Amino acid sequence: MTSGNGTQHGDWDQRREQLSAYLDGELADGERKVLEAHLVGCAECQRELAQLRHVRKLLRALPTPALPRSFTLPVQQPAPARLATPPVRRGGRLARATQWTGGVAASVGLLLILGSALMSGSIGPSGAGSGYAPSASSSQRTSNGAEASSTTTHAPSHVGVQGSATPTPQPSSSSSDMPGVTPSITPDVTPSQIARTPTEPPQFGNENTTVSASTTLGLTGAGLAGGGALLFVGGSIGRRRRR
């Protein structure tokens, strides 16, 4: 860039600004036509323009960086009222389940005790049925207990984590800092869904099933008495819970 060029082009900063804006299509029509006319006969400006264009191409060629994560905000959930509801429903559900299992266990236990008292090798249908019922009943109760507790665990987490948010621990960015986040969003989990989640109420269709004689004969009187006693205790607990 000689002084001669400086004279020819005036202020080179200004000329570069023109060339740079020309590249971006940001010159007014009149200014653009004057510059284009000049460019035809000026190798130095052509070179300058080519280099600026190349720099722009290099920047444009930079790849779009991959996102390290999604920056969506956590969706705040409503519902102190909804959160308060499930325990009541869960309590009712638990009470109903316990009522079922406790009542059946107690009656089956009674039958077992009677059966063990009469145990003399004869086939007692009620005792045989009792031999099956305890495990069904207790496992059903366990199953219900597990379902109930898993509902207890999952229901709040469903409510709290709903949405596609990526919670990001930022000191100043907790959702409670966000004005305008209204609890207008319906939770995904409704009480009726919660009620559907556990397994269906225990089925005791086998209760009256006549068990084979070999099964009955395999049980000792002491074992039946012990099982009956356990079930009786279970039934009592069930009734206490219900109360």
Partner 1 sequence: MPDDSRGGEERVRSLESGLIARSQKGDTRAFNQLVETHQAGAYALALRMLGDPEAAADVTQDAFFSAFRAIGSFKGVSFRAWLLRIVSNGCYDYWRAQGRRPATSLEAALEDDRDGEAAAQSSDARLPRAMIDPSWDPERVALKAEMIEQIQAALLKLPPEQRLAVILSDIQGMPYDEIARVMNTSLGTVKSRISRARTHLRGLLLRHGELFGGSGRRDGG
The binding site for partner 1 (CB under 8 A) comprises 1, 13, 16-17, 19-21, 24, 26, 39, 43, 45-47, 49-65, 67-76, 163-165, 168, 170, 172-173, 177-182, 184-185
Interatomic CA distance for residues 127 and 211, integer angstroms: 9
Q: Which is nearer to partner 1, 33 or 47 (CB)?
A: 47
Selection from 24, 5, 233, 237 nearest residue 113 by Cα: 233
Nearest distance in Å: CB 49, partner 1:
5
Interatomic CA distance for residues 53 and 174, integer angstroms: 45
Q: Which is nearer to partner 1, 71 or 120 (CB)?
A: 71
Nearest distance in Å: CB 24, partner 1:
7
Interatomic CA distance for residues 82 and 184, integer angstroms: 12
Q: Which is nearer to partner 1, 168 or 220 (CB)?
A: 168
Q: Which is nearer to partner 1, 30 or 68 (CB)?
A: 68
Interatomic CA distance for residues 202 and 111, integer angstroms: 19
CB atoms within 10 A of CB 137: 27
CB atoms within 10 A of CB 74: 19
Nearest distance in Å: CB 168, partner 1:
5
Nearest distance in Å: CB 56, partner 1:
5
